[in-house]
Amino acid sequence: MSSIIVANGPLLAPFSIAFECYGTRVGVSTNEATILDSLPAHLPVKSKLIDASDLENKFTLLTNEVARSQEGTDTYSLYDGECLVLSTGDLAVALKQLSRELDAVVALEASPWVFVHAGVVGWQAGAIVIPGRSMTGKTSLVAALVKAGATYYSDEYAVFDRQGYVHAFPKPLHFRTGQRGEPEKISAEQLGGRIGTTALPVTLLVSTCYEAQARWRPELIEPGQAVLRLFDNTVDALRRPEGAIEIFARAVSGCVAISGPRPSSEQVAPLLLALCDRIHHDTSAEGSKLQGGLDLDSLSLSTPNEWRSP
C-alpha cells in the first residue's frame, strides 16, 4: 500500500491520504510526513487507497498545532472536519482514536451496505450472526466459534449487502481483560482461525447475551422477530430504516433464529456449530429452506444438556 502525498494541500496539513471502504470515501490529513507513513495501518479493514480530493468526510491529525507543551513535548490534535475530537501528548492514543473514528464513519456512512452491531462467523457456506451491543459477550462467543473451526468475519459489525448477504469486517478481535476491562487485540490467526473472504447468506441468527448462571435453553424466534433484533442493533437505524428492514427481511428469509441467555462461550460454541450442521443437513435433505418449518423438538433445543458436540 503506498501513500498518496498531496503536495499542494492545505497549508496546515499538506500531507494526506484518501481511502474508500464499503462505499464511504474519507480523507485524512496531517502536517507530519512521518505520521502520514503510519496512517495506512490505522485505516478500517478492507480500505482501498484512492486518489480523490472531493471527500465528504475529512479528518486531520496535527502535531504542535499551536505550540509545544510547556514541558517541550509534542502535542497531537485530532479533528473530524472542523470539530476537535481529541488533544493529547501521546501519538499512539491519537492514532488509536483516529482508527475508531474512521471505523465509525464507515459504519455510519456506508452505502448501500447496512452495518449492524454483531459478531459474525462463517460455517459451511453460511453465516452465524450474533447481534448485540458491546458487553453482551459477542467477542468471546465469536472467539470460541473460531477456535472450534468457524471462519472469522467480525466481532463488531455484520455488514449486510442489498441481497441480505453478510460481508466480513475482520478487525482483530477486541477483548476486554482484567478488572478494568483493558483492551486487548487478538487476530483470528492467533486463535488458529482464518478470515472469511466471501459474502455469506445467514444460516443462524443467535440473539443472546452472557449470563453466568444461564442454562442454554434458547427458543426459536420468528423471522419478524429476527428482523427486529437486527434493526435494534443497526448502527444508525434512522438513516435508511425502510431499506434496512428490506435487507434484513431478505437476510432472515432462509435462516433459523434463536434467542436466549447463554452460559460460557466454550459450552455454547460447539452446540451452535452442531445446530448449523443440522440446519444444513435438514435443508439439503428437504431440498428447501426451513423457514418456519422447524420446531423446538426437532432441534432438541429444549433439552440442551443432552447435546454433545459432534
Partner 1 sequence: MTYKPKVRRDELTIREVGQELVLYDARHQCAHRLNKAAAPILQASDGTRTVDQIALLLSQDLDIKERSELVWMTLQDLSQADLLTAAIIPPGNSDRTRRNLLHKAAMIGLALPVVESVIAQSAKAHASDPKGHWDHSDHRRWHDRHDWNDRHDH
Give me the residues that bind partner 1 (CB under 8 A), please: 80-81, 83, 85, 100-101, 104-105, 107-108, 117, 133-136, 222-225, 227-228, 231-238, 241-242, 245-246, 249, 252-253, 291-292
What beta strand segments (E) does 181-274 contain? Answer: 182-186, 202-207, 219-220, 256-259
**Closest distance between partner 1 and the C-beta of residue 288, in Å?**
14
* Of 195 and 235, CB closest to partner 1: 235
* Of 104 and 195, CB closest to partner 1: 104
| Total residues found in the chain within this entry | 310
* Of 71 and 242, CB closest to partner 1: 242
Q: Which among 135, 285, 299, 139 is positioned nearest to 204, based on CA atoms?
A: 299
Instruction: Fill in the DSSP letter of residue 22.
Output: T
* Of 3 and 253, CB closest to partner 1: 253
**Closest distance between partner 1 and the C-beta of residue 302, in Å?**
16
What does the alpha-carbon distance between residue 141 and residue 21 come to, in Å, rounded to a whole number? 26
**Strands of the sheet with 48-50, listed across from one edge:** 48-50, 15-21, 24-30, 57-63, 76-80, 83-88
Helix (H) or strand (E) holding 122: strand 114-123
CA–CA distances in Å: residue 76 to residues 59, 72, 192, 291: 13, 13, 37, 53
**Closest distance between partner 1 and the C-beta of residue 248, in Å?**
8
**Closest distance between partner 1 and the C-beta of residue 83, in Å?**
6
**Closest distance between partner 1 and the C-beta of residue 244, in Å?**
9
**Closest distance between partner 1 and the C-beta of residue 168, in Å?**
19
Strand 126-131 relative to strand 114-123, pairing: antiparallel
* Of 91 and 249, CB closest to partner 1: 249
* Of 151 and 154, CB closest to partner 1: 154
CA–CA distances in Å: residue 93 to residues 15, 78, 230: 20, 10, 32
